[in-house]
Amino acid sequence: MRSALLLMLSPSLSLSPTSFKVHTVCSPNFPNFRDDFLSPTDPDASKMSTTKTTTVTQSVALNTMKTEETKSTPTTATTRTSTFRREAENEGGTICANKCRFKGLLEMIPTENVPKPPPLFSPFSKRLHIGLLLMYAFFCTVSMRSNLGMAMVCMVNATAFWSGSSSTSFVNISREGNAQCQGFGSRGSVISEGYDGDILWSPGMQSMLFSALFYGGMITILPSGYMADRFGPKLIMFVAVLDYVLMTLLTPLLARHNFYAFMASRVVMGLGEGIIYPSITSMSARWFPPNERSTMCAIYTSGVQIAAISAAVFSSRLCMTPMGWPSIFYLFGGLGVLWLVIWYFAACNRPNDSKIMPDAEKIYLNIQLNSQHSGTSSKKLSSAPTPWKNMLVSPPMLANLLCQFAFNFSTTMFQSYLPTYFKDVLYLDLKDNGFYTAIPFIGQLVSKNIMSWISDYLKKAGIITSTTGVKVFQAFGSFACATAMIGLATFVDCQTPTLALLFLALFGAGMGAAIPGFTTSLLSVAPAYTGTLVSLGMVFGMIANIAAPTIIGIFNKNGTPEEWSLIFYLAAGVNAAAGILFTAVGSASNPDFRRDATLGKRGEDANREDRFRR
């Protein structure tokens, strides 16, 4: 009995015997909404002529030492209205018990005795601790994945490689560029100041290393959701980060020893890449109530941008230390080891598994998370066939997938290749290289939180609809990224390196708009199949992660400004195409294949689906 469980969790609460009324609620416009809920006895409830009520008397005794029989007094409707009734009224739900099936009695603590939600931002908040650990997990995995981009410019001796090749030498290209730059004299030896690696890898070999990680991710991305559900996200996340840590700590040895051994280690690291995000999503669903998920999502995904910023800034400085570029991998690998220790002792798969969690917070999460799933039957959901055909031919879904491809293509390109671009084209020293590389991710971190808040505010105020919101923000994001890349290709060179800061910041702002843009659309277009849609989007994103290094390796042979301009124009075209398609057909709801999560039978359920589609 859930009430018995809750009572055991909080023996300090003082509850008296109370009479309850069971209200059966039907909301055809909100198929995932709760069907059955309880509220304390309400003298005004008889005014609701369409509500069928059943009086159930239940005695509750928490004090086992002294038990007294007491009678509850009627309470007013204004103070005793249950949480679920308020949700029904706020969402416009219709009370129509005569059309609904009674799904059973849900025993709950009376509303007046339910403790207030424990504060999220408290040093004792266990769910905040979990959110921060998820942010730390993102930080570790993304930093260990992307630090190779900055380390590459320190590891590889590009001058020696290209001087020994039969093509135009790197030295000649550098001198030609230097002559065109005004006041370049102090930067004339930029190639030898910090960029003095001793590994001979061609640009094509470097691209193979960047893409190898995502080949490994393609192997585990499909079964990752099942593994998180089967074994629990705590274990799967631990294994994924452990994989990252081991391969990162082995990088200096393997990179110096053999190119193919190092590339194989990147593929193995990619196995963790494919399972880390679904595991984090599963952990989020188990710990964060719906009314806190937007806030917590913004918190733990910030680890991605913090990692990209840290990898750029610290790696550029670590290259100049006596230990050199190997210290980059030892530092971030060590931070990963620290996460493993904290995660092993502090994390739990579910709130009920925690032994040090405050009782009030545990009760709150049990009520919130259990009520979220009470209206959805997992058996019915599993029996309903997934509408694959409708998904794959749906215009809004195709627009989402193209936006996902463009987003991942641009992210991989900037995380992995910006340091090389700044060295080859703008001739920045290592310190400036790290600072410039961090700018777009700083812009993304700031803009995604601001734009998400603006989007939610405009929708709550009724100024824009959900579909209008995702279209406006995604259009801004796609075209801002395209404009930034055209600006880098057209107006920025070694004579005007500071102009790049403007376009890098614009690019970061555009990437941040993806959160209230296509990401929100992907989560809203068919709530009953969100997991399937997110997995499908991840597959397209992984394809983009592989395509970006491959395409750049094809066009970037000598690192000339002309080659980089062509790469930027191509990426701008991908982003512009995604923006145009999403503006035309993007949506936050798609009646073509959106189905009630409780479907699974014919007859009445089929009729409800037909009414919903009309």
- Amino acid at the residue 419: P
Query: How far does the chain reach from its first CA to its final CA, in angstroms?
Result: 40
Cα–Cα distance for residue pair 338/279, rounded to 1 Å: 19
Cα–Cα distance for residue pair 277/222, rounded to 1 Å: 12
> Mean pLDDT across the stretch 589-594?
59
Report the CATH fold assignment for 120-156+197-357: Growth Hormone; Chain: A; (1.20.1250)
What are the phi and psi torsion angles at 313 (to 5°)?
Answer: -70, -50
Higher pLDDT, residue 62 or 465: 465
434: which residues sit within 8 A by CB, 6+ positions away? 150, 312, 313, 314, 315, 316, 317, 419
Supply the angle between the helices 430-460 and 395-424 in degrees, to the nearest 10.
160
pLDDT at 180: 57
Residue 608 pLDDT exceeds 50: no
Ranked by mean pLDDT, the top range of 259-268, 295-304, 430-439 is: 259-268
Buried b (16+ CB within 10 A) or exposed e, 556-569: bebbbbebbbebbe
Q: What angle do CA 111, 117, 118 make, to 5 degrees?
A: 140
SS3 115: coil
Question: If you write DSSP's letter for every residue of 31-54 in order, what string do you get?
Answer: TTS-SEEEEE--TTGGG-TT--EE
For residue 212, the cross-strand partners are none
Residue 369 pLDDT exceeds 80: no
What pLDDT band is residue 194 in, cutting at 50, 70 and 90?
low
Instruction: Give tens-digit pLDDT for 305-354.
Output: 899 999 889 998 898 888 999 999 999 999 999 999 999 999 998 888 88
For residue 57, the cross-strand partners are 19
Higher pLDDT, residue 281 or 67: 281
Give CA separation, 307 vs 250, 336, 488, 530, in Å: 20, 12, 24, 27
Cα–Cα distance for residue pair 593/397, rounded to 1 Å: 10
Looking at the chain, how many residues does it have? 614
**Cβ 33 vs Cβ 89: under 8 Å:** no
Give CA separation, 359 vs 125, 356, 541, 574, in Å: 11, 9, 41, 51
**Cβ 280 vs Cβ 137: under 8 Å:** yes
Ranked by mean pLDDT, the top range of 169-173, 432-436, 459-463 is: 432-436
Same fold, 120-156+197-357 and 388-614: yes
What are the phi and psi torsion angles at 455 (to 5°)?
Answer: -60, -45
pLDDT at 3: 44
> Mean pLDDT across the stretch 571-588?
94
Q: Residue 206's closest CA among 140, 268, 154? A: 154
Cα–Cα distance for residue pair 413/404, rounded to 1 Å: 14
19: part of which helix (H) or strand (E)? Answer: strand 18-24
392: which residues sit within 8 A by CB, 6+ positions away? 398
Cα–Cα distance for residue pair 302/313, rounded to 1 Å: 17
**Cβ 599 vs Cβ 380: under 8 Å:** yes
Q: What angle do CA 155, 159, 165 make, to 5 degrees?
A: 115
Q: What angle do CA 516, 517, 523 make, to 5 degrees?
A: 80
Residue 16 pLDDT exceeds 60: no
For residue 19, the cross-strand partners are 57
Task: Classify domain 388-614 at the CATH class level.
Answer: mainly alpha
Question: If you write DSSP's letter for every residue of 557-580 in order, what string do you get?
Answer: SS--HHHHHHHHHHHHHHHHHHHH
Cα–Cα distance for residue pair 360/580, rounded to 1 Å: 49
Q: Whole-number mean pLDDT of the chain? A: 74
Q: Reduced to 3 DSSP states, what percent helix, strand and coil does the chain have, rounded to the nearest 5?
A: 65, 5, 30
Q: 0.85 cut: is pTM over it? A: no
Instruction: Give tens-digit pLDDT for 41-92.
Output: 343 434 343 333 333 333 333 333 333 333 444 444 344 444 444 444 444 4
What are the phi and psi torsion angles at 20 (to 5°)?
Answer: -115, 155
Residue ranges per structural domain of the chain: 2-113, 120-156+197-357, 388-614
Instruction: Give tens-digit pLDDT for 231-271.
Output: 888 999 999 999 999 999 999 999 999 999 999 999 999 99
Residue 34 pLDDT exceeds 70: no
213: which residues sit within 8 A by CB, 6+ positions away? 145, 266, 267, 269, 270, 273, 545
pLDDT at 444: 92
Instruction: Give tens-digit pLDDT for 208-226.
Output: 999 999 999 888 887 887 7
